[in-house]
Amino acid sequence: MPKRYYALALLAALCLSACSGNYKFSDDEYRPLGDPQAQTRGN
């Protein structure tokens, strides 16, 4: 396999792995930026 295909495969693997990030936060202090109502919501 030529070198350019290795680079393309690596780039594709990096792009696909970035889509499976952990976006769940279990921290009770977590508040999304720009959402001032988050602290009073649900109380």
State pTM to two decimals: 0.40
The token pair at 12 is 């594709």
The Cα–Cα gap between 17 and 23 comes to: 13
Residue 13's region, left for phi above 0, alpha for psi from -120 to 50, else beta, is alpha
3-state SS string for 18-43: HCCCCCCCCCCCCCCCCCHHHHCCCC
The pLDDT of residue 1? 57
- pLDDT, residue 16, reads 80
Per residue in 1-43, pLDDT (tens digit) is: 577 899 999 999 888 876 655 566 666 666 666 666 656 666 5
